[in-house]
Structure 1
Amino acid sequence: MLSRGNGDEYDTPAAYPAVLGTNWGNTVESPDDSGDRPAWAPPAEAPREQRSTVRTTVVLFAVFMTLVLVAAAFVVGGLKQSKADPVQTRQPTLSPSSTVVTSVTPPTSRAEVPTRKHEAAANPLVAPGVTLPKVTCELPKLGGTKDGLEAFHTALIPCLERAWHPALSQVGEPRIPVAINVHDVKDTACGPSPPPDEAMGFYCSEGATIFLPLPRQLENGGPDLLTQLFLLGHEYGHHVQEQSGILRKYHALYRAADGDQPKILELSRRFELQADCFSAMFLANAAGRGSIGAGMVSQLRQSTFEDSDTHGSSKNAALWQKRGLTAKDTSACNTFAAPAKEVS
């Protein structure tokens, strides 16, 4: 940021009175020829020397003030030029084969940065009337290779942003860039990675990163389209929770549970089932356009999941997916306001 300084104003030196012909306080009268006193004579030389000194002082002061004015002009001009230059934001440096970062234009000033509402059930994002627009996703053909998966993820993230950013903007929530890491890392900023048999992908709010380890995606003959759409939609759903403040509230509620396992597990199910609902809602608004066929909705409805203490029963997973697919607005995904039986 550039700070603007105010240059001092310098006034032109005031005019000085003429000193020639002045006896510095003594009134000069006509010569007296009466003989009582000597005839008038010119003043002594001392006043002339004093007048010369004054002239020199005035000249030197004028030169000094001129130099000061010139210097001030350079300073003010430099400040104006600096203010006119654009402020550039540094962009992240990417490793060609490791991390894909989607760019979001940052706000131009701190005053324009929205504040996240750290609420869950009462979060504005899941209030009635907040809708997702219809989006068209142009995606490359999904292949069972590293390059094919990276190209697919790189194209799908901007489509997810186009679906969710209008909803976040509608309620004054910030838009935070998200990164994708495809390495099978052992540790993240959020702690150890879950084992492969528990998660094909996961999200870390520290650094807003979706982890999609390629070895896990390429197992069992490679990924299929619906799995990738729903998986990335689910993990991006966690990123939506982060952007809206729901995730921060979830962390606060988790700490408040103080080790109470039944409460912690119920919170986890509310959290994960909401991400399922968000993913289904995105798919419903993208299906039938571009690269996502309308049949994806039918396939998702027919999908089944195993019961999970942390992600919910198969029955409730199907319930929240259906709500996301048929939702008129985001309030259909307010799992934190649902009765306990719907998040078991």
Structure 2
Amino acid sequence: MKYNEGANLDASQMGGGGRGGGGKIAIGGGAGLVVVIIALLFGLNPGDLLGTSADPGTDPSAGSSRFEQCKTGSDIQNNRDCRFVAYTNSIQSYWKSALQGYRTIQVHTFSNSVATGCGNATSAVGPFYCGADQTVYLDTDFFDELTGTLGAQGGDAAEAYVLAHEFGHHIQQQTGTMREVQSQGNKTGPKSPGVRLELQADCYAGVWFAHATQDPNSPIAEVTSDDLKRALDAASAVGDDRIQQKMQGQVRPETWTHGSAAERQRWLQQGFKTGDPNKCDTFAG
């Protein structure tokens, strides 16, 4: 990805304090999938894993101070952390224009563990969205897991895809889709409501990619064909079947929570090709 060096970056969208309590399971899109699969295979409650923290968590002010030097797109060259501000600003700018009444939220970066409105979470959960406090939580070390354990090619576009997927869950929170799915219980399998929810978030991520460079003030200047390939590769790497085969040596579709590698790629590409969130109805049929 190429960045618009003259674009203003809004670091106020980063950081923000997590808080304890809640009890609702957070919605993840990356390493959280590993946690859920392991929980299902061994008869554990994924919520219990999410709610276990080895330490009190990170300082709530750490996220904002980490990014306070990110003023313009040119700062990305000197401080690579500023790319997360660029992703966040661009994603939220698009959804503010596409969804009436869109509520701007924060991305809270953390390491080791963090207290959230959905309970305490460790780095094992990976990036996730908590509907209880409407915050995206991002352990940036996850991207080493993505390219290492999960075998993705990585790159800025792969990172942006992961973040855009989590913002897709915020859209679902605002439209009521998430509440409707959660009311149906913790069903699993390729056609389960939970899988359809995750695939829709992938599609929404693709929609953002399609619009990322259209705003002349966007910090994202160019999304190349190689960027799209890397995003699709990341989507494949976090497919249920790919992770199950890698982690357990077998594939059990009845336990799927996020969708197969092929389906995750298909819906990400659907969003990118159409650029229309109305074409992301993964619940039809």
Q: TM-score, normalised by structure 1?
A: 0.49
Q: Does 1:209 align with 2:135?
A: yes
Distance 1:168 1:160 in 2: 12
1:280–1:190 distance in 2 versus 1, CA, 3 Å: same
Q: Of Structure 1 and Structure 2, which has the larger fraction of its residues in strand?
A: 2
State the 1:100 CA deviation: 7.7
Match of 1:278 in 2: 204
Match of 1:325 in 2: 272
Distance 1:268 1:244 in 2: 16
Please identify, of 207-216 and 268-277, the stretch whose mean Cα deviation from structure 2 is larger.
207-216
1:239–1:329 distance in 2 versus 1, CA, 3 Å: same
Match of 2:240 in 1: 307
* Alignment partner of 1:241 out of 172, 197, 214: 172
State the 1:186 CA deviation: 5.4
> What 5-or-longer segments of structure 2 have no aligned partner?
1-14, 18-59, 242-255
More relative contact order, 1 or 2 (CA 8 Å, 6+ apart): 2
Question: RMSD value over aligned CA atoms?
Answer: 3.6
Amino acid at match of 1:97: A
Number of matched pairs? 199
Q: 1:126-275 to 2 correspondence within 5 Å?
A: 138=73, 140-141=75-76, 148-149=80-81, 151-169=82-100, 173-185=101-113, 187-193=115-121, 196=124, 199-218=125-144, 224-254=155-185, 261-262=187-188, 266-275=192-201
Distance 2:74 2:173 in 1: 26
Distance 1:101 1:224 in 2: 21
Match of 2:62 in 1: 97
Distance 2:229 2:154 in 1: 19
Match of 2:223 in 1: 293
Deviations, residues 50-95 of structure 1 (Å, cap 9, x unaligned): xxxxxxxxxxxxxxxxxxxxxxxxxxxxxxxxxxxxxxxxxx9875
Distance 2:168 2:108 in 1: 14
Distance 1:243 1:231 in 2: 19
Deviations, residues 274-299 of structure 1 (Å, cap 9, x unaligned): 11111111112125884433232344
Q: TM-score, normalised by structure 2?
A: 0.58
Distance 2:166 2:207 in 1: 13
In structure 2, the residue corresponding to 1:238 is in which secondary structure? helix
